[in-house]
Structure 1
């Protein structure tokens, strides 16, 4: 399997951009970002891992990054939804390290997972009563907020 090779992009910019293009069906921009598949895959994997750790698990399951191992293990064994999300979290971590086969396919799948995690986090917090809310409306705004929290002007870009 080829290793992830960087072309000088920052995962904190590339990952959210790809998710936005996938959600809004901007095929031209999506294909342009897919021209470096391993770089994209690692960036989307890192974004998904960050979203799972910082947004999804705390808001949906009440599990913080510093939660005890016993609490997490108990929840993993008793709640099938948490167990499945925990397994996906491990896959995101491996993908963020550049250990993935079929990187474009995995990037598309994980970008959809990121959008679903953000929507689930938003729905859990706001408890919407009407089903007219669409992914295209919520996810770009949440990604901008997340990206603003991840990127600071004093930091140098990182390679995926």
Structure 2
């Protein structure tokens, strides 16, 4: 993907597209993005890291990105769910930086993790435990909100 290395590219947008194709079972477009495994792995890692810090931690655990290290470390030690999410966050950060090469099945796993984090965040935000709410209904809307936050209306994200 040589054209994707332009200056204005936000790699998380590629991750948003892949997660949406994954949730909607759009196999054709999903396989197209999987033809560039390193780019896909890095973009999913960056998106997962962003979702963890900007959406999941604040909505589910009440931890903001500007919280002190002491607060985060105490929560990590007291709450095993937060501790596990913190370990995944570190893994996503390494993957987003390109320090770990992930095969396609790992990228699919990360896409499923992103969908789960978005659904869990939505459920905590809306205090809903409704079994009738489907992942395929919530995730695309939340991904659209993420895309609009990542893109500026004045410029196209892939312009050099």
User: After TM superposition, is the score higher than 0.5?
Assistant: yes
**Is residue 2:144 matched to residue 1:144?**
yes
Partner of 1:24: 24
Query: Would you say the 8 A contact 1:59–1:125 is kept in 2?
Result: yes
Report the secondary structure of 1:67's partner residue: coil
Partner of 1:130: 130
Query: Would you say the 8 A contact 2:45–2:96 is kept in 1?
Result: yes
What is the Cα deviation at residue 63 of structure 1?
A: 0.4
What is the Cα deviation at residue 129 of structure 1?
A: 4.2
Report the secondary structure of 1:116's partner residue: helix
Structure 1 length-normalised TM: 0.90
Partner of 1:104: 104
What is the Cα deviation at residue 156 of structure 1?
A: 6.3
| Moved beyond 3 Å, runs of 4+ | 153-158
Structure 2 length-normalised TM: 0.90
Partner of 1:94: 94
> How far apart in 2 are the matches of 1:129 and 1:22?
24
> How far apart in 2 are the matches of 1:56 and 1:62?
9
**What does 1:1-160 align with in structure 2 at a 5 Å threshold?**
7-8=3-4, 10-154=10-154, 157=157
Count of aligned pairs: 154
What is the Cα deviation at residue 125 of structure 1?
A: 1.0
| Gap change, CA 1:100 and 1:127, over 3 Å in 2 | same
What is the CA RMSD across the aligned residues, in angstroms?
A: 1.6
Q: Which runs of 5+ in 2 are unaligned?
A: none
Query: Would you say the 8 A contact 2:38–2:101 is kept in 1?
Result: no
What is the Cα deviation at residue 100 of structure 1?
A: 2.3
Q: Which runs of 5+ in 1 are unaligned?
A: none
Query: Would you say the 8 A contact 2:41–2:102 is kept in 1?
Result: no
Report the secondary structure of 2:64's partner residue: coil
